[in-house]
Amino acid sequence: MFDMKRSRIKELFLSQPIGTDVKICGWVRTVRSNKNVSFININDGSCVENMQVVLSPDHADYKLLCDIHTGTCVSIEGKIIESQGSGQSIELLPEKLMILGKADPQLYPLQPKEHSLEFLREVAHLRMRTSTFGAIMRLRHAMAYAIHKFFNDRGFFYLHTPIITGSDAEGAGAMFRVTTLDFNNLPLNEDKTVNFKEDFFGKETHLTVSGQLEGELGAMSLGQIYTFGPTFRAENSNTTRHLAEFWMIEPEVAFNELQENMDLAEEFLKYLIQYALDNCSSDLNFLNARFIKENEKKKQEERDEMNLLQKLEFVVSHPFERLTYTDAIEILKSSAPYKKKKFQYPVEWGVDLQSEHERYLVEKHFKKPVILTDYPKAIKAFYMKQSDDGKTVKAMDVLFPGIGEIIGGSQREDDIEKLKTRAREVGIKDEDIWWYLDIRRFGNAPHSGFGLGFERLMLFVTGMSNIRDVIPFPRTPKYAEF
């Protein structure tokens, strides 16, 4: 009985070993007592369910109860019995109870009541101990695993592209500088500019905004690769969909053209959502109940027609709508909000679509995920393949309900002259991307890829509405605590 191996609560609920002696370790969620009995609910992080421990006043360890509060860490050995109550299938009759770590109820920030998400962000070091954040983090893990499984099963290779980049040509957003220079004693050139030759790498370096350019080198060698790593953007955009540090998945495939790129993106997203439905049902059910409760609090016109599970089921069972940017502009121009001047931003061929436009198309017009293609070349990156019309590029954005853009991708320009010209137009010198150009010089082929924002996916799968709540420790402007 002593030195027993610890069981995880998830396994106990699965195997239901009624009559066996087990040991569990975990954190107390709630304690309820009356004069006949005390119920201690324990969670060990393995699943959203708690194990109920039933302690009677004549138990030898009953005196420990005065130190058992929400947050206390305990180790309990005892017998699994069929539950007498209705809330759970099994419960634990303790034989030996030990306190591993006290939590002073006067000081412990989490109480056995509902806390606001805003408050929980301030105690992000403890919020994973709540049911909501436990469920989100387990789902995050499951999605990361499913991403690797999806690509591995299809013969893609996981390519580790650099986090520190020496090229500022990616053009995907403002970058964070990486330097070891002493700001109080900067080495200067004669013209008073900073001499980066003295810096660690002998040149200016930054944190990557995308692994794509290096990913293309991998695809043009290994055939099909994906990256999955941290990505940094120093944009000062305090929205519910942007982080300064986020995770991005970027597949890149040699010989794929735009059509196959869209097919891959749609298959990928559906696979991930189906994986969550098949493998994470108890966490999803918990989040679904939460979603329904939150939805009911909203004003009638802002309410979702579907609950979280229905939304996930809907996406996996319907084809995404595919249309060109040009057609989307036509739809927007004949829309009610456009005619009633309800859009904040202009709608005109050539403008970058704002999230209000993307969400109108997805949520009001098509009522399903949309893939927009063939954007004006002026609003897209220099590396996207130019179409014969001279105006558009073979770009594709996947737009999701409640989120807007979840994936951005394209077929890549494989005509070296067009690529050079376009790069120069946006201020990138040939010598900055000499290695990128080399791929078009030696053994060139069509190729395509895209980037999926991991946290945008997590927003959709969990039904949460703020991106700060789907990453353990968010990094946003003026905020890098924990």
Binding site for Mn ion (CB under 5 A): 408
Closest residue by beta carbon to ligand ATP: 453
Binding of ligand ATP at residue 242 (CB under 6 A)? yes
Helix H or strand E segment including 314: helix 308-317
Choose the stretch contacting ligand ATP; rule: CB under 6 A; options: 94-102, 146-154, 243-251, 384-392: 243-251
Touching ligand ATP, residues 118-177 (CB under 6 A):
172-173
Side-chain-side CA neighbours of 57 within 13 Å: the count stands at: 6
Binding of ligand ATP at residue 243 (CB under 6 A)? yes
Q: What is the C-alpha separation between 94 and 320, in angstroms, rounded? A: 53
Contact code string over 411-450 relative to ligand ATP, x by CB under 6 A = ----------------------------------------
Helix H or strand E segment including 216: helix 212-222
Closest CB to ligand ATP among residues 68, 262: 262
Binding of ligand ATP at residue 407 (CB under 6 A)? yes
Closest CB to ligand ATP among residues 204, 405: 405
For the CB of residue 128, give the shortest distance to ligand ATP in the complex, in Å. Answer: 20
Among 229, 251, 451, 474, which residue interacts with ligand ATP (rule: CB under 6 A)?
A: 451
CA distances from 156 to 210, 224, 249, 443, 471 (A): 18, 5, 12, 20, 26
Closest CB to Mn ion among residues 150, 450: 450
| Three-class secondary structure of residue 101 per DSSP | strand
How big is the chain by its Cα radius of gyration, in Å? 27
Strand order of the β-sheet with 224-232 is 157-158, 224-232, 245-254, 447-453, 404-411, 392-400, 370-376, 321-324
Give the helix, strand, coil percentages of the chain, each rounded to 5.
35, 25, 40
User: 337: how many CB neighbours lie within 10 A of its CB?
Assistant: 15
Specify the amino acid at residue 367. K
Closest CB to Mn ion among residues 78, 408: 408
Choose the stretch contacting ligand ATP; rule: CB under 6 A; options: 61-69, 263-271, 293-301, 402-410: 402-410
The answer to whether the beta carbons of residues 249 and 228 sit under 8 Å apart is: yes
Task: List the single partner that 9 binds among ligand ATP, Mn ion, none, CB under 5 to 8 Å by kind.
Answer: none
CA distances from 161 to 165, 171, 217, 218, 365 (A): 9, 17, 10, 9, 39
Of the candidates 462, 410, 452, the residue with the CA atom closest to the CA atom of residue 249: 452
Touching ligand ATP, residues 171-230 (CB under 6 A):
172-173
Closest CB to ligand ATP among residues 110, 175: 175
Binding of ligand ATP at residue 455 (CB under 6 A)? yes
For the CB of residue 230, give the shortest distance to ligand ATP in the complex, in Å. Answer: 11
Task: List the single partner that 284 binds among ligand ATP, Mn ion, none, CB under 5 to 8 Å by kind.
Answer: none
Task: List the single partner that 406 binds among Mn ion, ligand ATP, none, CB under 5 to 8 Å by kind.
Answer: ligand ATP
Side-chain-side CA neighbours of 90 within 13 Å: the count stands at: 22
Among 406, 423, 433, 470, which residue interacts with ligand ATP (rule: CB under 6 A)?
A: 406
Phi-psi region of 66 (alpha: psi -120 to 50; beta: other; left: phi over 0): alpha
Closest CB to ligand ATP among residues 27, 246: 246
Closest CB to Mn ion among residues 71, 408: 408
For the CB of residue 395, give the shortest distance to Mn ion in the complex, in Å. Answer: 8
Task: List the single partner that 401 binds among Mn ion, ligand ATP, none, CB under 5 to 8 Å by kind.
Answer: none
Closest CB to ligand ATP among residues 80, 312: 312
Among 29, 69, 206, 233, which residue interacts with ligand ATP (rule: CB under 6 A)?
A: 233
CA distances from 9 to 14, 27, 215, 285 (A): 9, 12, 41, 18
CA distances from 299 to 227, 292, 303, 304, 437 (A): 41, 13, 6, 10, 53
Closest CB to ligand ATP among residues 94, 451: 451
For the CB of residue 267, give the shortest distance to Mn ion in the complex, in Å. Answer: 20
The residues that touch ligand ATP, with contacts defined as CB under 6 A, are 172-173, 233, 242-243, 246, 248, 405-408, 451, 453, 455-456
